[in-house]
A and B are shown apart, each in its own frame.
Chain A
Amino acid sequence: GQQLNQSPQSMFIQEGEDVSMNCTSSSIFNTWLWYKQEPGEGPVLLIALYKAGELTSNGRLTAQFGITRKDSFLNISASIPSDVGIYFCAGRGAQKLVFGQGTRLTINP
């Protein structure tokens, strides 16, 4: 089946730093979604991407749908303490939505 490789698995950064994470797959996807999960909560949708090459921002977050349709990137600029959480990518191809393993973000004030 389709699988996603999300990296890094975890990040420890200083407040104010920029953050980059990505997801790659051997399969082509038609949609990429980025979610954030805080402790004890369900994932919340951050950004949705529907077209190869698409670059979309949501405040300090920017995500891109890779040209090959096999990858996507999420960047967070000027991190703040409330950015802490687990970020998941999800890709939808011919089959059902597939989730990455998540990137756990920890911020030192």
Chain B
Amino acid sequence: NAGVTQTPKFRILKIGQSMTLQCTQDMNHNYMYWYRQDPGMGLKLIYYSVGAGITDKGEVPNGYNVSRSTTEDFPLRLELAAPSQTSVYFCASSLTGELFFGEGSRLTVL
């Protein structure tokens, strides 16, 4: 069982570039989440989804977009990358209340 898979693991972007972080889960979980973790800090919720076709903003959604066309996939899009978006991004999924996390995607914006 792969669980939650994120790609890429590492990426360097120039200011103003755009990219998509991919997340897929094979546990048939309805809930999926995107968090960012800044150095020495906890996890901040960017966006979440309670099921295919439904997404909602978390604490820090500015500069990001998401879509949920299938139960399995929940990509996170950065349209105009800014240095403030340098962070480690974690995707997670859950069925009831316990979140299962991917290994993270480390993004640097220069």
Contacts and interface: CB of A to CB of B under 8 A. Distances in A.
A23 B99 CA distance: 18
A102 B97 contact: no
B74 interface: no
Give chain B's interface residue range (CB within 8 Å of chain A): 10 to 19
Contact of B101 (A44, A48, A92): A44
Interface residues of A, number: 22
Contacts, number: 47
Interface string A27-45: 0000101010000111111
A41 B103 contact: yes
Nearest to B45: A96
A43 B101 contact: yes
Contact of A97 (B4, B90, B99, B104): B99
Given A40-B104, A42-B90, A42-B103, A88 B98 contact: no
Contacts of B90: 42-43
A31 B48 CA distance: 19
Given A33-B97, A43-B90, A48-B98, A88 B103 contact: no
Interface of A: 1, 6, 31, 33, 35, 40-45, 48, 50, 88, 90, 92, 96-97, 99-102
Q: Top 6 nearest A-B pairs by Cβ distance?
A: A42-B101, A99-B42, A99-B43, A101-B42, A31-B97, A43-B101
